Amino acid sequence: MTSGDRSGAGMQAAAGSGGSDRPDDSPGRAQADGLIEMLDDLRPAEAEAGGHTTLGDLVERLGRRGHAAAIFAPALLALSPVGAIPGMSIATGAIILGMAGQLALGRDGLWMPRRAARVEVPADRLNDAIDWLEPKLVWLDRLFRRRLPQLGRGPAERLLALPMILLALLMFPLAVVPFGVAMPSAALCLLSLGLAVGDGLVVAFGLAASAAATAGSVWAIGSVL
């Protein structure tokens, strides 16, 4: 991702969460734009094999699907083995915080902090992580349906950014807790995934997971202070 004259490393992608690119409510939508398709969007290109990609590139690939999908990418990376790379939890937390803030404000574009966007991810390691995740999540992809739409549309969508912001903030102190970011990352994955595929039931599970992750994170942080 180039910096150039983009404001603050920003990406003004044409895919805001409420933009015209948002998929419709047709019955097959959850299958057409489900979890596996988003993982495939993150897979490194052949030209990157053996090299590196950046967090900015990964978020930009999913940015066409809206803010929720762009939040899902760094949350999943933080939860996956790639999250063990030193500094990755801080970088992913910063990106999620920025994206969730834009979702709360109703912004249509995507913007990321320049320093976080430039963090490199080994392409081979990312590919291995996706290969490891995909077979475990194929069954989950078949479960998505259009349920409880009121949880992921209009004002509710912007309100859901608030727990995302809280979870992203918790990722910073949790960077010093072994595997500590797994708790907020898992909750963020559920929330953002539910919004991205339009399944309000997944969003509801994400809200429950957010409450549990917040309590667990506060306890974990307190235990190391």
Residue 6 lies in a domain: no
As given in the structure block, the two tokens for residue 138 are: 């194929």
10 falls within a domain: no
Q: Are 17 and 195 in contact (CB under 8 A)?
A: yes
Tally of domains in the chain:
1
> Under 8 Å CB-to-CB from 119, ≥6 apart: which residues?
54, 55, 87, 88, 91
* Alpha carbons 126 and 148: distance in angstroms, whole number: 33
Lookup: tokens for 125: 């390691």
Asked whether residue 48 is assigned to any structural domain, the reply reads yes
Residue 89 lies in a domain: yes
Q: Which residue has the tokens 């083995």?
A: 81
- Distance between CA 73 and CA 189 in Å, rounded? 8
Domain encompassing residue 141: 28-224
Q: What is the mean pLDDT of the chain?
A: 78
Let me know if residue 165 belongs to a domain.
Answer: yes
pTM of the model: 0.67
Per-residue model confidence as pLDDT tens digits over 105-131: 887 767 777 887 788 888 888 888 888
Under 8 Å between Cβ of 114 and 61: no
Is residue 156 one of the residues assigned to a domain?
yes
Residue 12 lies in a domain: no
Residues of the chain below pLDDT 50: 1-32
Is residue 219 included in any domain, yes or no?
Answer: yes
